[in-house]
Chain A
Amino acid sequence: MSAIVHRPLGGKVVTKPFLILGLFVLIAAYFIARRFLFGMGDVSNMNNGFPIGTWVVLDVVIGTAFGCGGFAMALLIYIFNRNVYHPLMRPALLGGVFGYTLGGLAVMVDLGRYWHAFHLLMPWYAQPNSVILEVGLCVMAYITVLWLEFWPAFLERMPLGFKQRYGLDKLQAFLKRYMYVLVALGVLLPTMHQSSLGTVLLILGHKLPPLWNTQWLPLLFLSSALAMGYGVVMLEATLVNRAFNTPSEVTLFARLSRVAAGLLIGFSVLRWADLLHRGQLGAAFAGDLNGNLFLIESVLFIAPVFVLLSARRWSQRWQFIGATCILAAGSLYRLDSYLITLEPGNGWTYFPSAPELLITIGIVCLEIMLYLLFIKTLPVLHGGAAEPHGRPS
């Protein structure tokens, strides 16, 4: 990374919130053990009408969209050369590292024949038409890229003598020199799999209502994932800033908010134009559950635009509200299209069981714990002591 000074936050790692999060992780571990001993039916309400449930939809589909901070910032900083945002890069990357890695963990819990998971990597099993194969390979590759991109944070922390003894200083130089290749991959791979997470839904055919079932799903999923990426960077930074009294990034976010707003506008225009063209506008205003969900989504997607483009974007509070709104919009969009509006027929219904949700919650808690551990012990956040930034008003 360039001229940015990153510093470990320091402070006690094992705090009260940390322990509470740990409790949820333990509860999840208990139910995960039960899932492997007695089968998925023991802890989950998934059934053959709704064969994928919260583990995939919350932890993978929504979870990796939350992990798009690194993707979104890399696109802005390295591809569009907006160096001003550089201080935001590494924390965003760390969010991506955990969002994706733990999404991968959730997949291992969810796979019905997990001991065959390595078949995904065996070319002789590959089925090239499968969108799921593409998503799986892409996500695995991206997890690797994310960790490699994050490696410098570990290396910077190591004593120079130690690095020299094991040749790690050369690795550090190598990574630094060819970081641009990793960065490019780190933009390409999420572009591919975040759009493919939309393509996956096309196979549902009549099971997915027309309000959601469009051939533009790949682009809609990609653009909303990017918007969520900017949203999550704003949210994370605001929370960290409030919790640990770090320098505020309000000014940077006021600029970033215009990018996010542009994406939201693009998404909404595409979605409504497509709806109009397919003659499904009536379905949106039908007043039934699906229509109303669609309208709620649309409001959530558009409302932040009014925050992000107005003078309110200079206030940390409004930034926080705008970011939350984007994340809610993207999450509801994914939840609706993957689960809530799904009509498998034959009387199938689904509502997640408590143990099933506790596994999902535990995985998210683990993610937050690791994030806290990392920002406290590794140089992730940029240390602004040398150049004090403005405090939030």
Chain B
Amino acid sequence: MSLSRREFLRGAAGAVATAAASVADASAPFAPRENKPLPPKAIGMLYDSTQCIGCKACVSACKDANGMPVEQPQALGGWNEGTWDTAEDLSGKTLNVIRVYQNGTLAQKDHEVNGYAFVKRHCLHCLDPSCVSVCPVSAMQKNPITGIVTHDPDACIGCRYCVLGCPFNVPHYQFDEALGQISKCQFCHHLLKDNPLFSDDMAETAHASASATELWKNSRIPACCDVCPTGASLFGWVTDLQAEAQKRLALKPGEMYDFPRGLLGGDRAPNAAPVGQYRPHIYGEKESGGTQVRYLSGIPHEKLGLPKLPDHSSAAVTEGVQHTIYKGLIAPIALLGGLVMLARRSAKSGAEAEKDTEAKKEEDRPT
């Protein structure tokens, strides 16, 4: 086994040349890994901005359901015994929030110019979540059946790369707490626990037989969708929600439509309202490799703070690069082998040189 230094260096030079050649080939030297498919029993939400009246019932129901404290500016701290929640955006204490887009005279709802529009912000439960990909200690998990992205504070080390990596700025760390934790919407998975879907062995039967109503009759649904009076926030299977969104886009603006409330396919009385003037885009279907939340809006989605994103997740890009370099740890191990060999040679030649000066060295050694 004597690979000479020259051969090793030639190999290394070859690798660099190959790398350089692939710059010429493509701007993406490493192919992103494939996007991930929709989990088999993916649950999700459809938020229809044109149906939202900004009542914030969902915000307070969310706080209730998740035991989160109210948020208010200091000036309002004493008002009404501090019960008034005025969260302005997602934070370490707010998992779900209604924000409002405002322009000019605010004359008309769902108008980009001289109008206003609401948006509900919470986790979109990506199909290929960046937060799960960056988490070093598996604190962020995507449930393989329902697709809910959960966070386990008992595993979390608080490095906050999930906060940095999320394209929607959803996970938030509690910077004002000595022992802060990451907060994010988890689709009220603690309320859904009674659903047969969540008991491991029942998952198969649950979906195969039961209707949505039957399946959810013993369990609650996420608090925000449960309390929404207009059906602007709607809970259900992602595939059904996608179909519902497509259906709404095909409707004629202004015509009356029975908007389902609570659970899509549930037995709650619908809300009859005029169809909104939708932008022809279902946000959340393809963004960042796809999500389990859909947004319909009367104004451009990016005005609502929903960024324009590519059809693949950054996690796919990162893992594409990382898996290419570290495939089966072959490259690092081979590199280590080469390095050990070369270092050993150098150490030997160094030792020979040392022998010559050994006597002198002993003389010079400080005492």
Show the binding face of A for B, using Cβ within 8 Å. Answer: 1-3, 5, 7-8, 36-42, 44, 46-49, 51-52, 77-81, 83, 86, 110-114, 116-117, 119-120, 122, 125-127, 129-134, 136, 156, 179-181, 183-185, 187-188, 191-192, 195-196, 199-200, 202-207, 214-216, 218-219, 270, 273-274, 277-278, 344-346, 348, 379, 383, 385-386
The segment from B216-224, B242-250, B356-364 found at the interface with A is B356-364
Q: Which chain A residue lies CB-closest to B320?
A: A215
Q: List 28 A-B contacts (CB under 8 A).
A: A2-B351, A38-B178, A39-B174, A39-B178, A41-B176, A48-B90, A48-B169, A48-B175, A49-B169, A52-B160, A81-B345, A111-B157, A114-B158, A116-B137, A116-B154, A117-B157, A120-B136, A126-B136, A126-B138, A127-B138, A131-B318, A134-B322, A180-B344, A203-B134, A204-B314, A215-B317, A215-B321, A277-B27
Query: In the complex, what residues of B have CB within 8 A of residue A383's CB?
Result: 364, 366
Residue from A49, A81, A113, A184 in contact with B339 in the complex, judged by beta carbons closer than 8 Å:
A184
Does A112 contact B159, Cβ atoms closer than 8 Å? yes
B350 at the interface (CB under 8 A from A): yes
Query: In the complex, what residues of B have CB within 8 A of residue A7's CB?
Result: 366
Does A112 contact B181, Cβ atoms closer than 8 Å? yes
CA distance A83 to B90 in the complex (A): 58
Query: In the complex, what residues of A have CB within 8 A of residue B125's CB?
Result: none
CA distance A16 to B167 in the complex (A): 50
Show the binding face of B for A, using Cβ within 8 Å. Answer: 5, 19-20, 23-24, 27-30, 89-92, 130, 132-138, 153-161, 163-165, 167, 169, 172-182, 288, 305, 307-310, 313-315, 317-319, 321-322, 325-326, 332, 335-336, 339-340, 342-347, 349-351, 353-354, 356-357, 360-361, 364-366
Known contacts A116-B155, A180-B343; is A203 also within 8 Å of B321 by CB?
Answer: no
Known contacts A78-B347, A188-B336, A192-B332; is A48 also within 8 Å of B157 by CB?
Answer: no
Known contacts A39-B175, A81-B349; is A5 also within 8 Å of B364 by CB?
Answer: yes
Does A202 contact B138, Cβ atoms closer than 8 Å? no
Does B309 contact A206, Cβ atoms closer than 8 Å? yes
Residue from A5, A36, A77, A113 in contact with B157 in the complex, judged by beta carbons closer than 8 Å:
A113
Residue from A49, A278, A345 in contact with B307 in the complex, judged by beta carbons closer than 8 Å:
A345
Residue from A86, A110, A270, A385 in contact with B23 in the complex, judged by beta carbons closer than 8 Å:
A270
Query: In the complex, what residues of B have CB within 8 A of residue A156's CB?
Result: 365
CA distance A191 to B90 in the complex (A): 38
Query: In the complex, what residues of B have CB within 8 A of residue A120's CB?
Result: 136-137, 157
| Apart from A3-B350, A379-B366: 11 A-B pairs, beta carbons within 8 A | A41-B176, A47-B175, A49-B169, A113-B179, A116-B158, A131-B322, A187-B339, A205-B309, A205-B310, A216-B29, A274-B23
Does A83 contact B350, Cβ atoms closer than 8 Å? yes
Does B178 contact A36, Cβ atoms closer than 8 Å? yes
Does A40 contact B175, Cβ atoms closer than 8 Å? yes
Does A78 contact B342, Cβ atoms closer than 8 Å? yes
Q: Which chain B residue lies CB-closest to A135?
A: B136
Query: In the complex, what residues of B have CB within 8 A of residue A111's CB?
Result: 157-159
Known contacts A180-B344, A204-B164, A346-B89; is A2 also within 8 Å of B314 by CB?
Answer: no
Known contacts A113-B156, A126-B137, A205-B314; is A48 also within 8 Å of B173 by CB?
Answer: yes
Known contacts A81-B342, A133-B137, A204-B165; is A112 also within 8 Å of B173 by CB?
Answer: yes
Does B164 contact A83, Cβ atoms closer than 8 Å? no
Does A37 contact B178, Cβ atoms closer than 8 Å? yes
Query: In the complex, what residues of A have CB within 8 A of residue B343's CB?
Result: 78-79, 180-181, 183-184, 187
Q: Which chain B residue lies CB-closest to A177?
A: B347
CA distance A136 to B177 in the complex (A): 25
Does B134 contact A113, Cβ atoms closer than 8 Å? no
Query: In the complex, what residues of B have CB within 8 A of residue A133's CB?
Result: 136-137
Query: In the complex, what residues of A have CB within 8 A of residue B336's CB?
Result: 184-185, 188
Query: In the complex, what residues of B have CB within 8 A of residue A132's CB?
Result: 134-136, 159, 161
Does B29 contact A215, Cβ atoms closer than 8 Å? yes
CA distance A10 to B357 in the complex (A): 24
Query: In the complex, what residues of B have CB within 8 A of residue A1's CB?
Result: 350
Does B27 contact A202, Cβ atoms closer than 8 Å? no
Does A114 contact B157, Cβ atoms closer than 8 Å? yes
CA distance A79 to B12 in the complex (A): 12
Residue from B157, B160, B326 in contact with A51 in the complex, judged by beta carbons closer than 8 Å:
B160
Does A180 contact B353, Cβ atoms closer than 8 Å? no
**Cβ distance B91 to chain A, nearest Cβ, rounded Å:** 7
CA distance A306 to B354 in the complex (A): 37
Does A130 contact B133, Cβ atoms closer than 8 Å? yes
Query: In the complex, what residues of A have CB within 8 A of residue B314's CB?
Result: 202-205
Q: Which chain A residue lies CB-closest to B176?
A: A41
Q: Which chain A residue lies CB-closest to B25?
A: A277
Q: Which chain A residue lies CB-closest to B27?
A: A278
Query: In the complex, what residues of B have CB within 8 A of residue A216's CB?
Result: 23, 29
9 closest residue pairs by CB, A with B: A112-B158, A113-B158, A133-B136, A205-B314, A2-B350, A41-B175, A184-B339, A51-B163, A51-B160
Does B134 contact A206, Cβ atoms closer than 8 Å? no
Residue from A46, A187, A218, A345 in contact with B169 in the complex, judged by beta carbons closer than 8 Å:
A345
Does A206 contact B167, Cβ atoms closer than 8 Å? yes
CA distance A122 to B169 in the complex (A): 29
CA distance A30 to B342 in the complex (A): 47
Residue from A83, A114, A205, A348 in contact with B346 in the complex, judged by beta carbons closer than 8 Å:
A83
Q: Which of B130, B159, B335 has the most CB of A within 10 A?
A: B159
Query: In the complex, what residues of B have CB within 8 A of residue A188's CB?
Result: 332, 335-336, 339
Query: In the complex, what residues of A have CB within 8 A of residue B182's CB?
Result: 112
Query: In the complex, what residues of A have CB within 8 A of residue B163's CB?
Result: 48, 51
**Cβ distance B259 to chain A, nearest Cβ, rounded Å:** 29
**Cβ distance B17 to chain A, nearest Cβ, rounded Å:** 12
